[in-house]
Amino acid sequence: MKISYSNLIKDFRFLVIAILTLFATSCQATTPPITIKRLGGDQSMIYVEKEKKYLLLPVEEAMPEARVDMIVDNQLVSGMNVRLAREKVDYFVPVELTGINPKSLVFQIKHIPDTAICWRTIDLSDEFDTTNREKFRPVYHFAPLYGWMNDPNGMVYKDGIYHLFYQYNPYGSMWGNMHWGHATSQDLTSWQHQPVAIAPDALGAIFSGSCVVDKDNTAGFGKDAIVALYTSAADRQTQSLAYSVDNGASFVKYDGNPILTSPKPDFRDPKVIWHEPTKQWVMILAVGQEMQFFSSFNLKEWTYESSFGEGQGAHGGVWECPDLIELPIEGTDKKKWVLLCNLNPGGPFGGSATQYFVGTFDGKEFVNQSPTLTKWMDWGKDHYATVTWSNAPDNRHIAIAWMSNWQYANDVPTKQFRSANSVPRDLSLYMQDGECYIKNQPSDELKALRAESSKKRSFKVSRDYNIDNIIGSDAGTYEIEMTVNNKDAEFIGFKLFNALGEEVDVCYNLIEKNLSMDRTKSGEVSFSKEFPAVTLAPIQPGTEMTLRIFVDKSSIEIFGDDGRYVMTNLVFPTEPYNRMSFYAKGGSYNVNSLQMHKLELKNTTH
Ligand code: FRU
């Protein structure tokens, strides 16, 4: 073969050029997508060169909050407080970058030293993994996919869909950066996570509030618009409005915000209802330790009407998250107005709880019929910020509560998400000794969760009686229904427990007339000294008593005597409680019926 030197040189040149081009392109491909510049004084800038879906921020919960401002084309578009990791990364939170098409994208970060680990771990990604990593994530209670949740708020039903909005921090699993998170459901048990509904703005964070369906277009945003009223929380708290004309898919903030101001520092959580007799909107606001009533014809202009609270009920802390509903009294054709009033601290077992008042309301003023009584809605430690769905079908009044307590909500042993809601409950009133009380019944939809059931023959308990395997207990999600007939016992009790000796003790004390739940040995309890506790509900013991008990991965809700007394408590067992043992003291009793249902979420989306 004849070798041409000139050709060889040409080929060699070609090869060199090819290699250089390849090298240049590969260099381009590895150009750092983010550049971090230190500005001194614990301030830094992150230049984002390349657009991906998310900027992933590393969080270390034990650290103080850093300020992260997002600047798009020289404009501040959002700011958040993030516990950026300094020594170790607990988890990442995503800042959404989709939809922004910037010429320049810069994050300005304050209060983070140059040595912090976050500078080596901040990343850009097209993925944010929300696969569950938590053993305590509930199965049939709503919890956010990631991040922090407190109050359920703004709940509204429209066209077959239950909308649940909630106090949400997408930038960490502790309280802060309040947004309205959003989820929807057709059956009150399986929830579809939706994008954030309302995000903070220059007027402040988005605190709790409510939604109404404006059927007569009183506000002028359109017939059947969903109108959200919420608190804009900055140095002061003011009330703002946003509306949705696409069934809650997106909200537009009203350009006349804020619509209601006050010199009072605690001025929040607007609940708005339509008062048919006076054909006007009524807003109830929590103001320090009272509730204030306002009226309006168009949802935008509000007139002060009255205040309620002085000398009424419990005042161990601030009043928050009001609701006003007209409930039927069972067995009669009468109705009464009920004012729900969440209180923190000052609950019966410390911290947060829901009290209520029963009385009359004429569109201007609420009058409590029993001013000397304090009435509690739930006798556990983890039932707060209870409010009801607006516009619920079939005249239902469906309530849901945040299943936590401000005493330890930020410390419960989960990281990927924090907090869940109670199961939904249908409310009505019943009379006892001339007084009107709320009955909380688990919403009927919960029966659809029953996947497998077992029924025991009736048995007598004079010392103890064991059930070795609760159906559904391998997953830790079950319901127990039972009817107990007392003979002469002074204490009727049972324990739910696991092989590690972790247990929850539930007991009727027929001498003191109460039902107790003891979670002092329930599993992980040491994260807060306020957590190990025994909670008590007063009862009116008859010879027959019924209980429905809902157990999920980290909660127990007990409904006694058809919802006449309820107790909601968090528990964090290392393994599910899979056994049950009944005991009696001072006499014996019969368990006339005992049914166990394994609970499963069928249309699972979370
Ligand atoms: C109740 C509450 C509300 C407030 C919200 C802030 O838990 O304190 O009063 O709107 O939480 O997240």
Is there a single domain that holds both residue 215 and residue 318?
yes
Q: Give the 3-state secondary structure of residue 394.
A: helix
397 touches 428 (CB < 8 A):
yes
Residue 526 lies in a domain: yes
Burial of 543 (0-12, 13-18, 19+ CB in 10 A): exposed
Is there a single domain that holds both residue 26 and residue 45?
no
Cα of 268 vs centre of ligand 1, distance in Å, is: 8
In the chain, % of residues over pLDDT 70: 94
Residue 180, ligand 1, Cβ within 6 A: no
Q: If you average pLDDT over residues 329-344, what whole number do you get?
A: 98
Q: Which atom of ligand 1 is nearest to the CA of 151?
A: 7
Residue 90 lies in a domain: yes
Q: How far apart are the first and last CA of the chain?
A: 70
Residue 167, ligand 1, Cβ within 6 A: yes
Within its chain, how far is the Cα of 407 from the centroid? 15
Q: What is the amino acid identity at position 81?
A: N
Which of 206, 201, 211, 338 is closest to 268 using CA atoms?
206
Q: Which atom of ligand 1 is nearest to the CA of 352?
A: 7
Q: What confidence score (pLDDT) does residue 100 get?
A: 82
Dist. CA 271–CA 248, nearest whole Å: 18
Residue 1 belongs to what domain range? 1-31
Is there a single domain that holds both residue 288 and residue 386?
yes
Q: Which atom of ligand 1 is nearest to the CA of 286?
A: 9
* Dihedral sign of CA atoms 285, 291, 292, 298 in order: positive
Query: Residue 21: in which H helix or E strand, if any?
Result: helix 5-29
Is there a single domain that holds both residue 151 and residue 273?
yes
Is there a single domain that holds both residue 425 and residue 516?
no
Query: Domain boundary residue among 380, 412, 442?
Result: 442
Model pLDDT for residues 254-276, shown as the tens digit of each residue: 999 999 999 999 999 999 999 99
Is there a single domain that holds both residue 354 and residue 453?
no
Residue 231, ligand 1, Cβ within 6 A: yes
Dist. CA 230–CA 212, nearest whole Å: 12
Cα of 464 vs centre of ligand 1, distance in Å, is: 45
Cα of 398 vs centre of ligand 1, distance in Å, is: 20
DSSP 201: B
CATH label of the domain that carries residue 215: 2.115.10.20
Residue 385, ligand 1, Cβ within 6 A: yes
Residue 150, ligand 1, Cβ within 6 A: yes
- Given a cut of 80, whether residue 513 has pLDDT beyond it is yes
Which of 199, 155, 138 is closest to 599 using CA atoms?
138
**Residue 9: CB partners within 8 Å, gap ≥ 6?**
none
Residue 269, ligand 1, Cβ within 6 A: yes
In the chain, % of residues over pLDDT 90: 90
Residue 208, ligand 1, Cβ within 6 A: yes
Residue 220 lies in a domain: yes
504 touches 517 (CB < 8 A):
yes
Q: Which two tokens stand for residue 404?
A: 């936590």
Cα of 181 vs centre of ligand 1, distance in Å, is: 14
Cα of 339 vs centre of ligand 1, distance in Å, is: 18
Number of domains in the chain: 4
Q: Which atom of ligand 1 is nearest to the CA of 231?
A: 10
Q: Give the 3-state secondary structure of residue 444.
A: helix
Dist. CA 76–CA 21, nearest whole Å: 39
Cα of 292 vs centre of ligand 1, distance in Å, is: 17
Q: Which whole-number Å values give the CA distances from 428 to 153, 401, 539, in the listed order? A: 20, 16, 18
The residue ranking higher by pLDDT, 333 or 22, is 333
Is there a single domain that holds both residue 384 and residue 461?
no
- Mean pLDDT computed over every residue of the chain: 94
Q: Spot the catalytic one: 11, 90, 129, 151.
A: 151
Residue 97 lies in a domain: yes
Query: Residue 123: in which H helix or E strand, if any?
Result: strand 123-125
Please state the length of the chain.
606
Query: Domain boundary residue among 388, 412, 442?
Result: 442
Q: Which whole-number Å values give the CA distances from 147 to 92, 331, 402, 566, in the listed order? A: 10, 44, 15, 28
Q: If you average pLDDT over residues 42-47, what whole number do you get?
A: 95
Is there a single domain that holds both residue 429 and residue 454?
no
Model pLDDT for residues 220-243, shown as the tens digit of each residue: 999 999 999 999 999 999 999 999
Residue nearest ligand 1's atom 6 by CA: 207
Q: Which whole-number Å values give the CA distances from 580 to 52, 451, 493, in the listed order? A: 52, 20, 10
Residue 131 lies in a domain: no
Query: Residue 325: in which H helix or E strand, if any?
Result: strand 318-328
Q: Which atom of ligand 1 is nearest to the CA of 175?
A: 12
Residue 605 lies in a domain: no
Cα of 404 vs centre of ligand 1, distance in Å, is: 13
- Given a cut of 70, whether residue 494 has pLDDT beyond it is yes
Is there a single domain that holds both residue 107 and residue 176?
no
Dist. CA 16–CA 10, nearest whole Å: 10
Residue nearest ligand 1's atom 9 by CA: 320
Is there a single domain that holds both residue 395 and residue 494?
no
Q: Which two tokens stand for residue 484?
A: 């107990």
The strand pair at 335-344 and 565-570 is best described as unpaired
In a mutational test of the pocket of ligand 1, which residue from 178, 269, 289, 400 has the highest number of ligand atoms less than 8 Å from its CB? 269
E strands, 170-219, are 179-185, 192-198, 205-214
468 is catalytic: no
In a mutational test of the pocket of ligand 1, which residue from 167, 284, 291 has the highest number of ligand atoms less than 8 Å from its CB? 167
Is there a single domain that holds both residue 420 and residue 374?
yes
Q: What confidence score (pLDDT) does residue 26 get?
A: 44
**Residue 381: CB partners within 8 Å, gap ≥ 6?**
347, 349, 350, 351, 353, 405, 407, 533, 535, 568, 569, 570
Residue nearest ligand 1's atom 8 by CA: 320
- Given a cut of 70, whether residue 28 has pLDDT beyond it is no
Is there a single domain that holds both residue 261 and residue 366?
yes
Residue 606 lies in a domain: no
Q: What confidence score (pLDDT) does residue 428 get?
A: 98
Q: If you average pLDDT over residues 2-28, what whole number do you get?
A: 49
Residue 140 lies in a domain: no
Q: If you average pLDDT over residues 538-565, what whole number do you get?
A: 96
Dist. CA 339–CA 567, nearest whole Å: 20
Dist. CA 183–CA 152, nearest whole Å: 11
Residue located via tokens 């988890």: 91
121 touches 93 (CB < 8 A):
no
Which of 141, 136, 158 is closest to 443 using CA atoms?
141
CATH label of the domain that carries residue 465: 2.60.120.560
